Structure 1
Amino acid sequence: MPLENYGVLSGTLHRHFRDDPDDQGRWFHVHLEVDTPAGRYACAIDVDSKHSSTGVQWKVLTLYPSVLEPVDPSATGFHDLSRASGSGALDYLRHPALADRAGCLFVRRPPGWLQGLIDRVSRPRPWISGSYLEASQALEPLLVPGRQVLVFGEPFDEGLGVHNVHQNQGDPRDSQWWDDNGIWQDGATLVRRPDGRYDAFLSRFSTQADATDQDGHPLPA
């Protein structure tokens, strides 16, 4: 089944900080504190595994506000989103503004002749692989205190906060996150620029597939 809850937090960035690399815990995060009328939210952005061979991948995109419709960035606080195209939910593999290239919009891999055409006319936006430090350094220049931020992911069970701010599909069958796979429920961090556009940081783990079925499970290679 997919994530129990999914949505977007809109607010003002107060500050950010990193995990201490020597802290106990398996995953390394960059933490955001986001102010809303309801209070200050804590957002944990996964940027790598500390104690396994799982690597992190990321990309930074600049998006126009129209891409976010019907999400209303001016409506501060956390808002639930339906896991469906057109709801404002994000899907790294299906959303036209986020997919690596147009071919990723197909539920199944397109035939070879069509993929060849897509490769010629669609500019690829490859994932960058690196360490938690490199991923953190890619994210942190976007995090300007006082700017509006949108954080897509799953709300905490208790207290004000958002986690699972990364790809939430494509985990392999033997993964502990297999049951969380689902489409139109990916996380992301977006920061509003002075020109009104948004810088978006997307991240995923190296074990997650880049093609999935309608349940968010990996397609056969």
Structure 2
Amino acid sequence: MALPYGYVKAKIVSAPQLKATRRPHEVQYHLHFGVTVNGAQWDIAVNVGTTDADDLLKYKLVFDFNHSMLTTLEGAAEGQTDLTGTEALPAIDFERSDFLANTGAWRNSDVMDGSEQVEPVASLQRLLLRAQQSSLDVYVFGRFYSEGDGIHDVHMNQGSKGEFIHTAGNDANDHNDIWQDGALLVDLGDPEWALYVAAFDQQYVPTDDLGNPMPNSQPIS
């Protein structure tokens, strides 16, 4: 079963804050910021890294992003767009679409230490502050909170192993899925757009129709 997925088009109303989430074998870090969606404040949680040197974040931060999908986003209404079960753009799939064509190589994040000087925290925070101060349109793709208003899983959402394996009919949270990859885009003013996408070292491609790693899969590179 597909998890609730889509995007919001909104303006940032609270400055990004770095927050830690403790997991069994690591601490994951997110930049949280607020946006207003139909009069309600939503929380956005964007993955920026981990303390686990064996499962670092890979990311792309592109300031000259260009794709035909941007026309669709520009024409979209402000607020929430539900794309659950959609298997075509504007739903995002890094493996099954050309969304990341011509965006360059993946970069390795720093090992997170709780500071804001490491990458991609520092660069992404500057971008988000610019978006807030200039009232720029921000588009956040990911999974909707199961409780409360917000979006998380703003990273690749397929290719993981272990507890994330997707079995048919499974509606548990955080399993693999196709056409549910996360992304953050900022309209910097025609024709300039910025894109941030992320994945983890321990996510593998190619994936099958459920989003699980294929037998011949390898870490993304």
Give TM class, smaller chain.
0.7 to 0.9
Aligned equivalent of 1:42: 43
CA distance in 2 between counterparts of 1:167 and 1:9 reads 17
- Answering whether residue 127 of structure 2 is matched by residue 142 of structure 1, we say yes
Report the structure, 1 or 2, having the larger helix content.
1
Question: Which residue of structure 2 lines up, in the alignment, with residue 125 of structure 1?
Answer: 104
Structure 2 match to 1:66: 68
Number of the residue aligned with 1:114: none
Give the match for residue 15 of structure 1: 14
SS at match of 1:42: strand
Deviation at 1:168, TM superposition (A): 0.1
Match of 1:206 in 2: 201
Greater than 6 Å deviation, 4+ residue runs: none
Match of 2:97 in 1: 95
Return the match for 2:184 from 189, 192, 205: 189
Backbone CA RMSD of aligned residues: 2.4
Which residue does 1:30 correspond to in 2? 31
CA contact (8 A) 1:48 1:54 kept: no
Q: Which has the higher strand share?
A: 2
Q: Could you tell me how far apart the structure 2 residues matched to 1:86 and 1:181 are?
A: 17
Find the aligned partners of 1:68 and 1:82 in 2 and give their Cα distance: 20
Matched residue SS, 2:189: coil
User: What is the percent sequence identity of the aligned residues?
Assistant: 28
Post-superposition offset of 1:20: 4.8
Unaligned runs of 5+ in 1: 100-122
User: What count of residue pairs does the alignment treat as equivalent?
Assistant: 194
Aligned equivalents of 2:178, 2:58: Cα separation in 1 = 19
Q: 1:201 to 1:184 in 2, by over 3 A?
A: same
2:211 aligned partner, one-letter code: G
- Check whether the contact 1:65–1:197 (CA below 8 A) recurs between aligned residues: no
TM-score, structure 2 normalization: 0.77
* 1:152 aligned partner, one-letter code: F
TM-score relative to the length of structure 1: 0.77
- How far did 1:82 drift? 4.1
Q: Does the aligned pair in 2 maintain the 1:16–1:30 contact within 8 Å?
A: no
Distance in 1 separating the partners of 2:164 and 2:154: 14
- The superposition leaves residues 125-151 of structure 1 with CA deviations (integer Å, 9 ceiling, x where unpaired) of 211002242121232232121211000
Query: In structure 1, how many angstroms separate the alpha carbons of the residues matched to 2:199 and 2:8?
Result: 20
2:115 corresponds to: none
User: What is the Cα deviation at residue 51 of structure 1?
Assistant: 5.5
Tell me: CA distance 1:87–1:95, structure 2 relative to 1, closer, same or farther (3 Å): closer
| Per-residue Cα deviation, 1:147-191 (whole angstroms, up to 9, x for no partner) | 11000011111221100111000102x2x2223111111001111
Q: Secondary structure at the match of 1:137?
A: helix
Q: In structure 2, what is the Cα distance between the partners aligned to 1:185 and 1:69?
A: 20
Work out whether 1:165 is the aligned partner of 2:154.
Answer: yes
Q: Which sections of structure 2, spanning at least 5 residues, go unmatched?
A: 113-117, 167-174
Aligned-partner Cα distance in 1 for 2:192–2:84: 24
Question: Aligned partners of 2:192, 2:67: CA distance in 1, in Å?
Answer: 6
Aligned residue in 2 for 1:5: 4
